[in-house]
Amino acid sequence: MFQLLCGLAPLREMSFLLLRDLCASVVKIPESPIMFDFITIDESLHAISRDWRITGHDRINTDDGRLYARLTTTSGTTTIELFNRPERMPADLVASGSGTIGTVTLAQANSSGLSGSVELIAQPSFDATLIVFYATDEDLDVYEENLASLLDTGGMYAGEPGFERYAALAKRRLDDMIVARIHREGLRGLSREHILSSLLDLPALTEPASYLALALLFERLAGAPDVKAADRSRYFYRRFEQSIASARLVFDFTGTGSAAFTLLFGDVTLLRG
C-alpha cells in the first residue's frame, strides 16, 4: 500500500484574485470548448488518436463522466464504440462511428444525445477509457439558481450547448493543478495521461469543478462590465478554494486496484506504509 495525503498548500493563503490569476495562467479561455483538449484519454488511446470531441454528455449517458471505448479494426476500417458502462453491452452503447486514418464522426446511439468525433492516427483493436467531465450543467444548477435564464430558446449560451465551455475549461484547469501537484511529490515519471486516467472517484471533483466553472462563467459576464456578476465570480472562486482544499482524490497507478494513492488538497503530509 502506498498512500499520499498532500495538498496545494498555497490555497490556504490565496485570495480569490491570486487563485483567479493562477487559473488564468494555466490556460486561456478559448473561443470554443472544442478548441482545446479537455477529455482525458488513457495512454493506449493517446498513442493512436487525438482531438477527441464529445458533446451532449451528462450523468445518464456516461458513468459519472467516464466513457468506455471499444476500437475494432476489420478489413482496413476501424469502428469506435462508446459505452456508459464498463461491461460494454449493446444496451450501454451511447455513440459509435467507423472510418480509416483521419477524422471519424461519432453519432449518438440508443437515443443517448451524446455525439462527437476523433482523429485516428493508427488503426488497432482494443478497449480503453475516457474521462469527459467532472461537472455538468445539471451540477452547476445545484449551486446557482436561474442559470437557465442565460440560455436562449435552443438551450445555447454564446452559440454553444448549455455551459459546456465553462465545465470543460474548469476540468482542464483542475487537471493541470492535479498533474502539477503529483509531480511536486517527486512522481515526475508519470505522464499526464497516466495520472488523470488513474483517478478513481470522479464525483469527488464535482463540487470544486462546479464552483470553478461558475466562477469562470461569471467572470466572463463581468467583462460586460457587470458588478453583480463580478461579485458572483469572486464568491465562486472562494467556494472553489474551500472545496478543493477538502477534496480527497484516489488514484490507482497500478491498474490492479492493489495500490491506493490519495491526494488530499488540504494537507501536505506524505504517508508510506
Phi, psi of 233 (to 5 degrees): -60, -45
Would you say 214 and 236 are in contact if contact means Cβ atoms under 8 Å apart? yes
Same domain, 159 and 262: yes
Same domain, 71 and 179: no
Check residue 267 and give its pLDDT. 45
Same domain, 155 and 261: yes
For the stretch 71-113, pLDDT in tens is: 999 999 999 999 999 999 999 999 999 999 999 999 999 999 9
pLDDT class for 44, splitting at 50, 70, 90?
confident
Same domain, 171 and 72: no
Same domain, 208 and 250: yes
Find the largest Cα–Cα distance for the chain: 60
Check residue 222 and give its pLDDT. 78
Sheet holding 115-120, edge to edge: 40-41, 126-131, 66-74, 77-83, 93-99, 102-108, 115-120, 49-55
Would you say 18 and 8 are in contact if contact means Cβ atoms under 8 Å apart? no
Domain count of the chain? 2
Same domain, 108 and 173: no
Residue 81, beta-bridge partner list: 70, 96
Find the domain containing 110 and state its range.
40-131
User: If we measure between CA atoms, which residue out of 228, 170, 222 comes closest to residue 38?
Assistant: 170
Of 96, 131, 166, the last residue of a domain is 131
Question: What is the overall mean pLDDT for the chain?
Answer: 81
Same domain, 187 and 169: yes
Same domain, 71 and 34: no
Same domain, 97 and 160: no
Same domain, 73 and 166: no
Of 80, 101, 131, the last residue of a domain is 131
For the stretch 128-149, pLDDT in tens is: 999 999 999 999 999 998 888 8
Of the listed ranges 34-38, 74-78, 82-86, 219-223, the one predicted with least confidence: 34-38
Q: Please name the amino acid found at residue 164.
A: E
3-state secondary structure the chain: CEEEECCCHHHHCCCHHHHHHHHHHHCCCCCCHHHCCCCEECHHHHCCEEEEEEECCCCCCCECCEEEEEEEEECCEEEEEEECCCCCCHHHEEEEEEECCEEEEEEECCCCCCEEEEEECCCCCEEEEEECCCCCHHHHHHHCCCHHHHCCCCCEECCEECCHHHHHHHHHHHHHHHHHHHHHCCCCCCCHHHHHHCECCHHHHHHHHHHHHHHHHHHHHHCCCCHHHHHHHHHHHHHHHHHHHCCEEEECCCCCCCCCEEEECCCCEEEEC
Same domain, 165 and 188: yes
Enter the C-alpha cell of residue 2: 502506498
Of 76, 108, 131, the last residue of a domain is 131
Q: Is the pTM of this model over 0.85?
A: no
Of the listed ranges 62-76, 94-108, 226-240, 255-269, the one predicted with least confidence: 255-269
Check residue 146 and give its pLDDT. 84
Same domain, 199 and 210: yes
